[in-house]
């Protein structure tokens, strides 16, 4: 199995449990690792034969920008549900980093791995 990745995708959104967080946008950083088989694309050299990381990025950006979740857990789970259901991805790992949410930490967040239900 091969992996197509998107690293440090930065998106501004409303996220957080505190009142002040509901009134601002914060930048979250996403790393997506998506299982795929690149053999067909490597042989044909055609974009239609692979997972288009640009298309995945555009869809995730549109979703996250409009989202209004409180917890990073909920946002992470919804992003993964979206990718697994809308793209040909049987498994993925998502790292969601809420940047400067905790003073003194370089980042905080969640890492989840999910498979498509068969
Ligand atoms: N496990 C979690 N802990 C915390 C979260 C969260 O989403 N998941 N969120 C916060 C606050 O919103 C924080 O990011 C503000 O600095 C605290 N803990």
Determine contact, residues 59/86, Cβ cutoff 8 Å: yes
Instruction: Tally the domains of the chain.
Output: 1
Does the structure show a pLDDT above 70 at 118? no
User: Quick check: CB of 28 below 6 Å from ligand 1?
Assistant: no
Complex ipTM above 0.90?
A: yes
pLDDT, tens digit (0-9, with 9 covering 90-100), for 24-46? 999 999 999 999 999 999 999 99
Q: Which domain holds residue 23?
A: 2-115
CATH of the domain at 57: 3.30.1130.10
pLDDT, tens digit (0-9, with 9 covering 90-100), for 53-72? 999 999 999 999 999 999 99
- At 84, is the pLDDT very low, low, confident or very high (cuts 50, 70, 90)? very high
Give, for 79, the enclosing helix (H) or strand (E). Answer: helix 72-86
User: Quick check: CB of 49 below 6 Å from ligand 1?
Assistant: no
In this prediction, residue 8 carries a pLDDT of 98
Q: Which of 85, 112, 92, 98 is nearest to 5 (CA)?
A: 92
Supply the pTM of this predicted model. Answer: 0.96
User: Is 54 in the active site?
Assistant: no
**Alpha-carbon 40 to chain mean position:** 25
């Amino acid at each position: 199995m091969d992996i197509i990745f998107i690293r440090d995708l930065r998106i501004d959104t409303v996220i957080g449990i505190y009142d002040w967080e509901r009134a601002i946008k914060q930048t979250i950083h996403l790393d997506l690792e998506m299982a795929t088989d690149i053999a067909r694309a490597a042989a044909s050299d055609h974009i239609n034969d692979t997972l288009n990381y640009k298309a995945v990025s555009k869809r995730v950006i549109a979703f996250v920008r409009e989202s209004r979740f409180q917890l990073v857990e909920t946002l992470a789970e919804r992003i993964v549900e979206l990718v697994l259901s809308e793209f040909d991805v049987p498994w993925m790992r998502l790292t969601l980093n809420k940047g400067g949410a905790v003073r003194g930490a370089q980042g905080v967040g969640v890492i989840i791995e999910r498979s498509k239900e068969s």
